Amino acid sequence: MTTRLDKRFARLNAEARAGFITFITAGDPDFDTTLAILKGLPGAGADVIELGMPFTDPMADGPAIQASTQRALKAGASMMKTLELVRRFRTSDGDTPIVLMGYYNPIYHMGVDLFLSRAVEAGVDGLIVVDLPPEEDDELCEPAMRAGLNFIRLATPTTDDRRLPAVLANTSGFVYYVSINGITGSASPEARNVAAAVARIKRHTSLPVAVGFGIRTPEQAAEIARNADGAVVGSAIVDAIAAEIDAQGRVNPGAAERVLAFVRQLADGVHGARATAAE
């Protein structure tokens, strides 16, 4: 079955450019602001959207995304509201892939079968669940694949050639390469090391390889996009959202437009990366 992610990366490949993948947290700082940003992301240049599922005990997220999750939960975020965001996004966009990213606990709490059926119904395309290793594929990965969802797995700088085949075995859509040893937004990736890692992963798979963790500026995004199939930006966008919240927790008027303007700068960096490199 050809999924939205398959179609999107095939189009990017035909256009000889890398994809720009954005991350925001569902419900941060509130449902309506997330929806406004979510709907504006494709127009601002996002090729794929990762939507974070708020959770109280993250493992891989740095301070910026942890704070976004806390804001979302304080504002009443839930799994049902996360899926409702996707459903409302799909009323005006049937093409842009959406991947839910987070942890297994909220999915387990909801029930795997119920979660998958509602995710598919809402228009979700894939899942990144960072705390489920390949050894636990029967918990969620395999049921998700049977439901028609891509299951995207993380590879890291410590994933060696012996471990990589297990990581890639049931991965589809794309491979998410974590560019640093650490949590999101904690350091900047070294482009030369990332290029070597992407080349190594590609010797094991024909899937696209997207790179994330630590990319914060258009220049960094462009540098990564010259060698990877996609560049993922999360913490920097989440910080831009946080900057639009005043001391009383109110969202500034026009916040979504300013966040999307920043996203557009990042997208320009990614989309122009290979053309600039060829000059």
Positions marked catalytic: 50, 61
Distance CA(233)–CA(200), nearest Å, equals: 22
Q: Which amino acid is at 206?
A: S
State whether residue 210 is helix, strand or coil: strand
For residues 175, 35, 272, 243, the Cα torsion angle rounded to the nearest 10 degrees is: -100
Distance CA(270)–CA(279), nearest Å, equals: 15
Whether the CB-CB separation of 213 and 247 falls below 8 Å is answered with no
* CA distances from residue 141 to 94, 113, 122, 222 in whole angstroms, order as listed: 24, 12, 19, 32
Two structure tokens written together for 269? 């960096």
Distance CA(230)–CA(176), nearest Å, equals: 9
